[in-house]
Amino acid sequence: MRNMKKFGRAVSKISKKSIAIAIAFAMSLPNAAYAEGTQIPETSYTSQTQEENFFVTPEEHLQDIIDEARALNVPDAFIRHYLASDLQDEKIAAFDKNMSVVTNDEGVEGVEIKSVKLTKFANNKIDLGNFDFGEYKAGNMVYNFIASRKLKGKAYLYTEKSEDPIATFEIKRTVDDSWGKTKNLAVDVRKANLTGEQHLYLKVVPDSVLNTDGTINESASGKGSLYLESLFFTEGSTPVVSFDIDKEFNTIEDINGSETHTTMGYGTMNIQVPDGYRSPVNDEVLSDRTYDLDFIKGRGNSTWKQTKKPYKVKLDKAEEVLGMPKNKHWGLLANYFDYTLLRNRYTFYLAEKLGLDYTPHSVAVDVVMDGEFYGSYQFAETVRIDENRVDIGDLEKDPSDVTGGYLLQHMASWLSGEDLPMVGDPKGTHLVVEKPEYDDDYDEDLKQEQLNYIDGFLRDIDAAVKKTAESDSDEVSAEVPNWRDVLDEESLIKYTLMQEFSLNGDAYGGSTYYYKPRGEKEKLHCGPIWDFDFVAWGAYHTDFENPQSEAGVIDGEIEIENVDDSKASVAQTEEDEDMGYGVKNFGPITRAPWFMKLYYHDADFRENVIKTWDEFSKLLKESAKEGGVLDQMADETYMSALANYQVSTSYLSDGIDYWTESEIPMISDDGSKYTLNYYNEINRLKSFVNNRADWVDTHISELDKYIGEEVLNFDFDDVEFYVDDKLYATAPVYMGFISPLDIPANPEKEGYIFRGWYYYDQSGQLQEFDPFGAHVSVIYDENGDLVDYYSRKYYARFIPVSEVAAAKDFKFVRDTVYVPKYDNYDEEDEFNEEYGYAVGNVPEDLEDSEGDDLNEGYSRADFDAKDLLKITPFDVNPEDIKFELVDEKGNPVGKYKADLEFDNDSEELNEEYAKIDVSRNGLVAVNDLGDYYIKATYLDKSAVLKISVIEGSEAVYPKELTVDKEVKLNVGEYGDVNFKYDVEEKIPYYYFTDIRFKALDKSMVEFGSCGLFKAKKAGETSVISFAEGDDEMLMDVTKVIVSEKNANKPSQTMKKDKKSDEKRAPKKGTKLTDKTYIYKVTK
């Protein structure tokens, strides 16, 4: 039976869909299965498709992929062959009487050849079956085999007609005949020129049976076993990038296991190309190449946490790769969030056609990582200052000419970029200086001169644009420059339209770049383009265009209530509802610096926007037509994608919403069930492009109707915060928004609890102020002109302590939690112990100047201490808990993060604060190794937690999770599953913050944190506890019996007789059914 899980690589996070499956299975278990000592039976399952079921399992998705391939007449060699099924169907001949179908430790069926003489293996071929390659040529064979310990040697692949092997490879071994999870190993078979129909055979020759001359010693003794699960072939038209990792230093498992992607691997990178392959970049014919690595490590943020990981590659020296210009620094983009695998490539294509300078080049490749097939990737140039990348002058090499060499970007969130300098007006255009990088050795005077220059340059742009907006004519005062002299109009328009058209939710956060070339007359430019694989082009929901869906414009666009109702009604008329906000709205453009003011007040600019859009629209429609560039890219990529989805998953196939963590339904725009496969996603992307282009064609000249000009141009006064009618603080307003960074610290009042800021709306009703959606609401006069905003004053709300629920239980889940710390090798850290260089002594060739290189990664580990508290009753408001940094005896030390933000007199940080940050609401950020203590206080209750920050290499990962097997309660009482791990020392903190609990009958219990629950009604149910293990899901079950009040006194952890339960547990082979699935007990 096919099971997608068996082909996935070991990852730190298991899909939550597997949890749902486990819960569904648990619902059909008899009560006896939960007794102490009885393991939860392992299952395989098939789907009972129902019309109302819009959720797709990984197995169903894999079947959809295979169905699509067969419908496209893909030859079967490129679709995984399951050898157990082939043996049962007599498609392959038996090698030995001891050859049979078995199930491995993962519940996966394969063919076992058990305890056969080693000489028999050496002398005879094993039938693998018939494989049809059609007119395609094979690239790699991907195989899932395991050998017993004594079968150490070489494996050989033969065709029926070949006397000599067509490929030589190794089979991974296990210490015994207990067959564990297999890997998707790969061997290059290009030279075999496999086409048409071929019958294939395998021979395994153990080293122990070979004579010194290579002949077989027929008298050699010993027996061995072999487990053959499956195999398929990749199509050979895609270049292959393979890595040989030097295991003497770090393995690929070490690299993938580094939470902050700072563990580096060393070795070589090999590029294998098809015969006659021409580079899509320079059209030159390429040949195979091998490169020495300086390192390979992880990269990215959200993508790094997924099953398919991206990588940063640095070569030992600058060289051309796949026809791209020389450089040391490269990126392997996983495109996990983009099912088509094309959105980044497509965006790069459009940007290059539009003439946006320094657009990265990239090439689609297959990746083999240390012998394991990882799937389809995008080998790409990265954004960095270099003569072959962003060629604007390098201030780190020549710091004296301060007129250029700046790479700037927006700050993605309040945490990102905090260690990087910011320039520009905080109430205007405020950007992070990504390059140059300033370390302790950088000349302070030069640094300040550079920062002053680019800060003033941005302020000049703001002033010029503002003057244009305020002027009744096109002339600008001589006191400020003409905006066209300091800001590149062409790149501003093209870059903004690209972000807007794609509805890129990441726009004007991270990965939104600007650059200033060297030279007094050089202007600020927008670009390069980067990061369009997830919240762009409608990638993240299959019904993106459906107005009833949760999809649409996201991530902080100015909301419609910023303008009056008459203007708001334009945003979605009845005629637009057939497609909804997904493609019929403007979003990212509202966050674009300078653009909208120029659109309103510079007639030439507006005309140029419309002209550029006309050019862009034609390019989009041409690329998305039948047989256009998108279809061509898809056809070129399909066979690579087919292989990819036979070994890996994607965001949509994993099916867990990134924001809500709920399952993603597979729904088409018409409300029917959506079949997730490659060409359906290509067609959905084309539909997005064509439909959105049609809409923007009509509305591009009406931007002023969609985005309130008054809000963008109104000169807002500061808002005021009051405590008991006394002015407490003020905060600036820019473009209708209040930055969360400018909101004051929570006030304190003896005998009271602070409960937030409130304001009066236009109708006089009191409304709560949301600090993370902090846009002001505006007032228009009878002529429709904006005259003021009614949320100028905000008032602190307090409630008496006597009205706050008292806490009965108040403690941390453990006395000590451990936080693994990984150096990010920034300018304040030692570079790398393996290189042996101290601060300031790093050789030039090891230094890094790119944001996603050595300085990329999480310099800190962040978590919420509230998630570690066990509190009853549940009506305690966690926002009323105060946290502080204390010493071992509980005495306060250091400062709150909030104090530092609003205490301008604080020039020096407490030493402990520099190592660990603790906010008043419990957010903890650790910066350095050591033991620290935080104290949580709620009214008269307090608890102290020891936080031990350890080296990442010291972390210990549990293999087993146990809970109390039975809990008896009365209605209204609180219970605890009392979860424990098989090890306690040095377990990472997230095994306590991220553990989850599910009740089969949700109406019976209410969950708190850390395994606490409250009985809501009488009955029996089961609570399942889940934690993500190192390579598997850890799970255990608690039976919960709830009686009416005043019933028998509850007793926790009631044990049963193990033998009687085992007798009643479902036997192997038993089939169980719920509304959606059929389950078969396999173990």
**Whether the predicted pLDDT of 566 surpasses 60:** no
Q: Residue 785's pLDDT is what?
A: 55
How many angstroms separate the CA atoms of 1025 and 1036, rounded? 6
Q: Do 4-235 and 961-1081 agree at the fold level?
A: no
Confidence of residue 661 (pLDDT cuts 50, 70, 90): low
Pick the more confident residue, 896 or 187: 187
Pick the more confident residue, 547 or 197: 197
pLDDT in tens, 377-419: 999 999 999 999 999 999 999 998 999 999 999 864 333 334 6
pLDDT in tens, 618-656: 999 999 999 999 999 999 999 999 999 999 999 888 887
Q: Residue 1069's pLDDT is what?
A: 55
Mean pLDDT confidence for 743-762? 84
Q: Residue 903's pLDDT is what?
A: 34
Mean pLDDT confidence for 266-283? 96
37-46, 209-218, 534-543: which has the minimum mean pLDDT?
Answer: 37-46
How many angstroms separate the CA atoms of 649 and 647, rounded? 7
CA dihedral 545→551→557→558, nearest 10 degrees, is 80
Confidence of residue 536 (pLDDT cuts 50, 70, 90): confident
Q: Residue 911's pLDDT is what?
A: 41
**What's the Cα-to-Cα distance from 885 to each of 814, 879, 909, rounded to whole Å?**
17, 17, 13
Mean pLDDT confidence for 1015-1022? 93
Q: Residue 428's pLDDT is what?
A: 82
The answer to whether 3 and 59 are in contact (CB under 8 A) is yes
Secondary element (H or E) of residue 643 = helix 629-644
Among residues 32, 29, 12, 22, the alpha carbon closest in space to that of 1062 is found at 32
Question: Which class does domain 4-235 fall in?
Answer: mainly beta
305-309, 587-591, 679-683, 998-1002: which has the minimum mean pLDDT?
Answer: 587-591
645-649, 814-818, 835-839, 959-963: which has the minimum mean pLDDT?
Answer: 835-839
Confidence of residue 1031 (pLDDT cuts 50, 70, 90): low
How many angstroms separate the CA atoms of 129 and 220, rounded? 29
How many angstroms separate the CA atoms of 38 and 28, rounded? 16
* Mean pLDDT of all residues belonging to the chain: 80
**Whether the predicted pLDDT of 36 surpasses 90:** no
Alpha-carbon 516 to chain mean position: 31
Confidence of residue 1045 (pLDDT cuts 50, 70, 90): confident
Q: Residue 1083's pLDDT is what?
A: 52
Specify which residues 185 forms β-bridges with: 143, 372
Interior angle at CA 20, CA 19 and CA 22, nearest 5:
65
Residue type at 1010 in one-letter notation: C
Pick the more confident residue, 893 or 762: 893
Mean pLDDT confidence for 331-360? 96
Q: Residue 1061's pLDDT is what?
A: 41
How many angstroms separate the CA atoms of 6 and 723, rounded? 60
Pick the more confident residue, 201 or 864: 201
Q: Residue 738's pLDDT is what?
A: 72
The answer to whether 77 and 197 are in contact (CB under 8 A) is no
Q: Residue 713's pLDDT is what?
A: 52
Pick the more confident residue, 601 or 1030: 601
Confidence of residue 778 (pLDDT cuts 50, 70, 90): low
Q: Which residues of 58-88 are buried (b: 16+ CB within 10 A; e: fewer)?
A: bbbbbbbbbebbeeeebbbbbbbbbbbbbbe
Question: Which class does domain 961-1081 fall in?
Answer: mainly beta
Which of 234-248, 651-665, 691-705 is predicted most confidently? 234-248
CA dihedral 726→729→733→738, nearest 10 degrees, is -110
- Work out the percent of the chain whose per-residue pLDDT is above 90: 52
Sign of CA dihedral 677, 682, 687, 688: positive
- Work out the percent of the chain whose per-residue pLDDT is above 70: 76
Residue type at 380 in one-letter notation: A
Alpha-carbon 249 to chain mean position: 27
Among residues 398, 380, 399, 403, the alpha carbon closest in space to that of 515 is found at 403
Q: What are 57's two structure tokens?
A: 């399992």
Q: Residue 825's pLDDT is what?
A: 35
Domain ranges of the chain: 4-235, 240-381, 406-642+651-706, 718-822+858-955, 961-1081
**Whether the predicted pLDDT of 88 surpasses 60:** yes
Specify which residues 177 forms β-bridges with: none
pLDDT in tens, 965-986: 999 999 999 999 999 999 989 9
Question: Based on C-alpha coordinates, what's the Rg of the chain?
Answer: 31
Confidence of residue 1052 (pLDDT cuts 50, 70, 90): very low
Mean pLDDT confidence for 422-450? 89
**Whether the predicted pLDDT of 894 surpasses 80:** no
DSSP string, 697-732: HHHGGGHHHHS-HHHHH--PPPEEEEETTEEEEEE-
Confidence of residue 16 (pLDDT cuts 50, 70, 90): very low
**Whether the predicted pLDDT of 549 surpasses 50:** no
Phi (first) and psi of residue 537, to 5 degrees: 55, 30
Among residues 627, 667, 678, 648, the alpha carbon closest in space to that of 71 is found at 678
Confidence of residue 712 (pLDDT cuts 50, 70, 90): low
Q: Residue 923's pLDDT is what?
A: 83
743-752, 769-778, 834-843, 1047-1056: which has the minimum mean pLDDT?
Answer: 834-843
3-state secondary structure of 1082: coil
Q: What are 272's two structure tokens?
A: 């294998």
3-state secondary structure of 612: helix
3-state secondary structure of 278: strand
Mean pLDDT confidence for 661-676? 82
How many angstroms separate the CA atoms of 670 and 543, rounded? 8
Confidence of residue 26 (pLDDT cuts 50, 70, 90): low
Strand duo 362-369 + 372-381: pairing = antiparallel
Q: Residue 592's pLDDT is what?
A: 87
Angle formed by the axes of helices 678-699 and 489-501, nearest 10°:
130
321-335, 411-425, 681-695: which has the minimum mean pLDDT?
Answer: 411-425
Phi-psi region of 355 (alpha: psi -120 to 50; beta: other; left: phi over 0): left
Q: Residue 546's pLDDT is what?
A: 54
pLDDT in tens, 481-508: 999 999 999 999 999 999 999 998 888 8
Sign of CA dihedral 58, 64, 68, 70: positive
